[in-house]
Structure 1
Amino acid sequence: MNQQWSEKLFNDFIQLRDALRAAKRDKNYQNVLSLGMQILELDNAAGFLEISTPIFLTAMAEACIKLGSNTAAEKYFMAAKNKFTELKIKSNDWQKYIDVIDRKLEKLQATSKGPTHHSTGLARKAAQSGEFKR
């Protein structure tokens, strides 16, 4: 479907992106997850914006780690890696991001052998919902 450019949707994305950056800076990890989900939903509704969703999936994974939800973090990292791999077909510029995600996944999987800590349900719910998949 060929969608028309929408300045309103673009501005919505800019506001969400800036709010997510501020939430990361303020270490408000629940807000990072919430804003990340909103960005992913916007990307699904407005594909013409060509939002680089793997970057936001990675931020969400890192927020999950900080919240103690390693299982959710792994799911977000895998989704980000898959998206970066899709983008890599168009350009090899994304390989370094894929390599970083692989290292983070290895570290998570090594530490997840012990007891897993779960934070509030937002991280778990977001990862289980599959909403971050296109």
Structure 2
Amino acid sequence: MTSTSPTSTAQTGTGETSVGTSTETRADRFVRDLAALKIPDPAAGRATLWLRLGVVLMLVGPVLAVTAYLMSRGTTDSLTQGDALTVALAGITASVVGAALFLRYSLIGFLRFWLARQSYDLSLLADRLLERDLRHDLTGNEAAPR
């Protein structure tokens, strides 16, 4: 059974690109590392469906509530007014649920990107710290010049 230390994986994963191609920009490296993480595209799949459903519910909710209000004001029958009140409450509920769905699925794309960016920045910081530690004198008497 072999164990891999964090320093050996960091050196083999990132040392190869920094030595091999010095013309690669930081943004290009970030895009390549992001693709290597295999983070699903937030615009694809069920997330888009739920996001669109949230928008539809936010739009249909107030229309349903206003229609039910007008229906209840146009009659004197208490049973019809009770039904209209129920439809109006269902419209308001649909609007609130739609807003929650919209917020959840619109923020998920941003938060996934933010998490990947944080991971990349922490990896870059760890590489810099490891590089700095390797430049120090191994006896511990003198620090390397900056």
Highest CA radius of gyration, 1 or 2? Answer: 2
TM-score in terms of structure 2 length = 0.26
Q: TM-score, normalised by structure 1?
A: 0.28
